[in-house]
Structure formats: C-alpha cells, structure tokens
C-alpha cells in the first residue's frame, strides 16, 4: 500500500505532469528576462541617440572644416622666408630647384623606407587603417603610455595640409574626414608624392627634394639606400635625428628603418647589414649668411605654428650688418690667434638688452658642421658662472668691499686651485671677481648658499641642470652660450630677466598673423642696489682684471671663464647700449 500511494502522488509544485513552474525558484528567472529586455531596450535607445549625436558632431565638424583650396596648389611645396629686423630677406627654405618629386621618379627604396616606418599598409587601406589603429591602441595600453601612433600617411597629409598642430577631438575627427576626402580625390601614388613633397625633415627642409639637397648635396632621385633610410628616420623627430645635429643618432635611427624595411620585404637582411656598416655621409653645402641662426629660427617657427602650414613669412630680430661683422670677426679669430692655439670652433651670441638675438654664429664652418654650438652645445662655463655666486653673496648682506681670504680651501675631496696656484690673502669681493680667484668663489658659495646661487641662475634664465655642489661656483655644470647671454642681459638692462628670442611675427601667405611674440621674460629681477654693486664689480673685470684686453673705453662689464685643460674659453660682456 505504501508503494501504491507513492505512485499516485503528484509532484510538488506541478499542476499535472506538464504544468508550468510557479514556485519561488521561477521568480529570479522571470526577473532576469525582464531585466534583459529592459537593458536591450535602453541599449537600443542609447545606441540610436548616440549614433545621432555622433553623426551630428561629425556633421558639425565637417561643416567647420577649413577651405580645401585649389587642388593644383596642394602639389607645391610650402616656402618659408626669413626676414631680418629691417625687413631684408636673408634665407628661404622649402623650395628646391627641381620640380616636386613623383613616386615613380624616386629610387624605389625611398618611398619603401618611408612606408616601412610610417604606414606599412598604405596601399591596402582606405585612408584610415583600422587594423593599425587597433594594434596601436593595444600597444599603448600595454605600455601605459603612447608608444605607437595610429595615423596613416593620408591622415598626416590631411593634418599638414589643412589643420594646425593642436591635439583635440575636433581636429582628430576633421583629420579623418579630410583623409577620406584625399583618398577619394587622389590616387595612392599622388597622396604619397604630396606627403613626400611637404613633410618636414629638419633644418628648415620641407620635402624629400629639399632635404636631399640640404643634407647630401644631391637630388632625391640620386639618393642611395643608406641616405634614403636616414631621411626616412627623420620623420619620427626631425630636429632630434637630424644628421647635422648628431650623425651617430641619425645612423642608429636609420638602422631601425632598415630593419623595418626587412620586415616589410622591401630589402633583404643581407642588404640591411651592408648598409648599416656604411651609414650615409653628409655632403658639402653653399654657405649663406646667418645659416646657424636661420636653422634655429626655422625650428622655433615650426614649434610655434607646426609644419605644413603653407607659405610662411617669419620676421626675426636679426641685425644683418651686425651679423656680417660677427661672422668676419669669428673667422679672423680662428684664422689668427685661434690657429696658433689650436682652437677649432667658435660660438657667438649677441643679444639686445630685451633679449632679442641680433647675431649668432654656431660654429667655424657650417658646410662642415651644422651643429649649432651657440644654442645646442652644453658646455661648462667655468668662471663665467661666478656672477651668480656673487649675486647670492650680495643678497646675503655682503658688499663689493667685503673681505674674504684667498687661500687654499678643501671641501671633502674637492680642492680647487687658483690660476698658476697663486693666492693673494685677504681680498675684497671686487678684487676676487676681477682676478677670478677660485678659492674665494668657493668660500663665497659656501657662505651665501648653493641653493641661493642656483635660485639666482634660475631667475635670470638658466634652465639646464645645475648640480648642488661647491664646484658649481667654478662653472662645473653645463649650460649653453645662448642661455648665459640671456642671463647676463639682466645686468645691462636695469635688472630685468629676459627670454632670449629671435622671432617676432609669423605671417601666412595671406598676410595673416599666425604667431606674434608676447611677453618679456621669466619675471626675475635684481634690485637696483644689488645691481649697482654687481656692475661695479663686473666693470673691474674689464678695467684691471682678466678681461682688460677687451675694455671699450665706456661703461661696460664682463666676465671671462676657462674650463679644465683650457678646453673652452668664455667671454661674456655687456654695456647699456
């Protein structure tokens, strides 16, 4: 009976053998279905509105696109003209004597080198490389920083032709729209040729033809594989990898380009090995006036307005007459006393009291070396750094007549010595600065404070790294000639720190200002009382000190400096006029 009762019993929770689930266990499943339906519904609503919003955003950005201009005009390389302070044109960049290059008119390894490092899938995408973009995003996420870019050559061309250097969502959307327009308007070879004719390659060179003539003294059609790889390597950072600045760095970058070309099948591994053993060599160029300054000014202009902005007129602060005199004087110095003493290089900067660069010489021979020793070379200034130490001393309460013992000094393992190991006993600060006594400078920086000294250097415009050690008093930290001249300008203009500058205005082909200089300096100021004391001491350098051979016969100040082994010799002088 028990067995019969069990067989007739109905299962709990069911109305018959095929009844619907109605107990508590069914409720979560029904709630899940309702939640899924709601999510789907709202997802569709949000997706539709999002698509409409994105479409409206794209439409607005498309409406706000810059004018596309005349298509034939796009094929001409932009020209950049530099004007001196009096309006005289002294340099022009961006146009070569030959016609703009075509892809078929170039050795095949030049476009292949460019594509290998910039856009390996160029001939397989429609202007936007979705696969490359996804790959770049993954690489950047894994690295935690930007290590790859996703822009195609077409996008880069769109940016250079029509857009500015700013990084905004609007600009990126417009870049994509313009890239699609370019792909629809031009063939792939035409797009690549436009890019090769307009891309910035350092030293004021826009386009492969101009760069080939500038760096290698030959037209682009005659470039060898090692030269093509070096030019393609410049695209990542034209100023950093320019062979005129650092040939070794340019060669290492070219080696990376060759490896990429092997990866894309453009060359064999054996070819790459041979070329790496024979990096490109620079050719000689016709030397023009103010060439070092022109290169520096072009780099500055590119930093202000970006590359590929069309024709530009750059107004500079250069004084043509003064520049000629400085170049001749530098040449005479090297040919005369310099040759006798084995001096091979020279760097000169002449500033106005407002920081405007009036003249610049960056080396002995631009044709042999385009490295700008006036603006780029980091060198120890030696005793030319001492005015900052004396400023700190004056600020701490000392005077030009304060006395410090000029005697041997030792700070740990640091044992500075005076010239010829001569010491003079108790001397005034004026005598110590005029005679450039090292022991006094070291004692003074210990007394006034290293941090106080660094503070003065910073306030007057020294931006390079300064070591917190007693040797700083003797110029042990490296600086550039340009920033030292910038700092000394405050001694001549009443105590106001200035920014050294060479550009005042940049105009486009329509005459519109795309950059205008504003501002004056970093804000540092020397009090009139302290400045008067310092200038009295600096004048003594010329009247009876280490700079007496340079005295002018009118109020002026100066400081000399030499480094260990007399590797470098400095002279920085100034006058109110």
Catalytic residues: 118, 383
Task: Map residue 236 onto helix, strand or coil.
Answer: coil
- Gap between the Cα atoms of 507 and 311, Å rounded: 9
- Gap between the Cα atoms of 214 and 212, Å rounded: 6
User: Using the 8-state DSSP alphabet, how is residue 356 labeled?
Assistant: B
Q: Please give the helix or strand (H or E) that residue 3 lies within, else none.
A: helix 2-8
Please check whether residue 442 is in contact with residue 470, taking contact to mean a CB–CB distance below 8 angstroms.
yes
Q: Please give the helix or strand (H or E) that residue 427 lies within, else none.
A: strand 425-428
- Gap between the Cα atoms of 564 and 562, Å rounded: 7
Please check whether residue 176 is in contact with residue 155, taking contact to mean a CB–CB distance below 8 angstroms.
yes
Token pair 């290089």 is at which residue? 345
User: Using the 8-state DSSP alphabet, how is residue 246 labeled?
Assistant: -
Residues 6+ apart with CB under 8 A from 418: 406, 437, 438, 439
- Gap between the Cα atoms of 7 and 15, Å rounded: 16
User: Using the 8-state DSSP alphabet, how is residue 218 labeled?
Assistant: S
Q: What is the dihedral of CA 264, 265, 268, 274, to 10 degrees?
A: -40
∠85-89-95 over CA atoms, to 5°?
A: 140
For the chain, the residue count is 577
Residues 6+ apart with CB under 8 A from 134: none
Q: Please give the helix or strand (H or E) that residue 534 lies within, else none.
A: helix 528-544
Token pair 């300064």 is at which residue? 466
Nearest to 312 by CA among 486, 92, 573: 92
Q: Where are the alpha helices (DSSP H) in 266-423?
A: 269-276, 291-305, 320-333, 339-340, 386-395
How would you write 174-212 as a 3-class SS string?
A: HHHHHHHHHHHHCCHHHHHHHHHHHCECCCCCECHHHHH
Q: How far is CA 245 from CA 77, 228, 292, 541, 547, in A?
A: 24, 18, 11, 35, 32
Token pair 């095949």 is at which residue? 108
User: Using the 8-state DSSP alphabet, how is residue 11 labeled?
Assistant: P
- Gap between the Cα atoms of 217 and 211, Å rounded: 9
- Gap between the Cα atoms of 260 and 432, Å rounded: 60
């Amino acid at each position: 009976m028990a067995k019969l009762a069990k067989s007739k019993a109905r299962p709990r929770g069911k109305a018959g053998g095929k009844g619907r689930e109605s107990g508590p266990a069914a409720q979560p499943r029904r709630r899940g279905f309702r939640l899924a339906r709601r999510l789907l519904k709202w997802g569709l609503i949000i997706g539709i509105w999002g698509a409409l919003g994105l479409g409206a955003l794209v439409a607005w950005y498309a409406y706000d696109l810059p004018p596309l201009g005349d298509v034939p005009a796009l094929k001409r390389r932009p020209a950049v003209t530099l004007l001196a302070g009096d309006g005289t044109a002294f340099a022009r960049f961006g146009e070569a004597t030959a016609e703009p290059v075509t892809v078929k008119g170039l050795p095949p390894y030049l476009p292949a080198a460019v594509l290998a490092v910039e856009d390996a899938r160029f001939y397989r995408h429609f202007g936007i490389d979705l696969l490359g973009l996804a790959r770049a995003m993954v690489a950047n996420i894994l690295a935690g920083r930007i290590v790859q870019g996703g822009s195609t050559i077409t996008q880069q061309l769109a940016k250079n032709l029509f857009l500015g250097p700013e990084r905004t969502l609007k600009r990126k959307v417009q870049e994509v729209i313009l890239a699609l327009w370019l792909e629809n308007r031009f063939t792939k070879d035409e797009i690549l040729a436009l890019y090769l004719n307009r891309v910035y390659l350092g030293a004021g060179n826009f386009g492969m033809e101009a760069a080939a003539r500038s760096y290698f003294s030959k037209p682009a059609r005659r470039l060898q594989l090692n030269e093509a790889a070096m030019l393609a390597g410049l695209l990542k950072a034209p100023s950093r990898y320019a062979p005129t600045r650092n040939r070794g760095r340019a060669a290492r970058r070219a080696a990376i380009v060759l490896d990429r070309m092997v990866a894309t099948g453009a060359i064999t591994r054996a070819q790459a090995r041979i070329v790496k053993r024979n990096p490109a060599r620079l050719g000689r160029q016709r030397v023009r006036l103010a060439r070092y300054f022109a290169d520096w000014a072009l780099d500055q202009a590119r930093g202000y307005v970006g590359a590929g902005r069309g024709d530009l007129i750059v107004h500079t602060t250069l004084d043509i007459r003064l520049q000629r005199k400085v170049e001749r004087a530098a040449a005479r110095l090297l040919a005369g006393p310099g040759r006798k003493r084995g001096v091979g290089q020279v760097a000169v900067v002449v500033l106005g009291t407002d920081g405007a660069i009036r003249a610049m010489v960056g080396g002995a021979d631009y044709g042999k070396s385009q490295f700008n020793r006036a603006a780029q070379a980091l060198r120890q200034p030696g005793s030319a750094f001492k005015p900052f130490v004396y400023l700190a001393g004056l600020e701490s309460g000392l005077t030009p007549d304060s006395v410090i013992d000029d005697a041997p000094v030792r700070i740990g393992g640091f044992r500075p010595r005076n010239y010829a190991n001569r010491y003079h006993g108790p001397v005034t600060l004026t005598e110590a600065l005029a005679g450039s006594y090292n022991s006094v400078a070291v004692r003074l920086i210990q007394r006034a404070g290293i941090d106080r000294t660094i503070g003065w250097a910073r306030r007057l415009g020294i931006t390079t790294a300064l070591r917190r050690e007693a040797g700083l008093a003797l110029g042990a930290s490296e600086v550039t000639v340009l920033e030292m001249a910038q700092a000394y300008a405050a001694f001549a203009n009443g105590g106001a720190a200035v920014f050294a500058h060479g550009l005042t205005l940049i105009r486009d082909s329509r005459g519109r200002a795309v950059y205008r200089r504003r501002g004056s300096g970093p804000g540092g100021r020397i009090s009139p009382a302290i400045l008067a004391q310092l200038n009295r001491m600096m004048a003594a350098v010329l009247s009876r000190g280490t700079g007496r051979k340079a005295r002018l016969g009118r109020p002026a100040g100066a400081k000399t400096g030499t480094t260990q082994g007399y590797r470098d010799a400095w002279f920085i002088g100034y006058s109110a006029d």
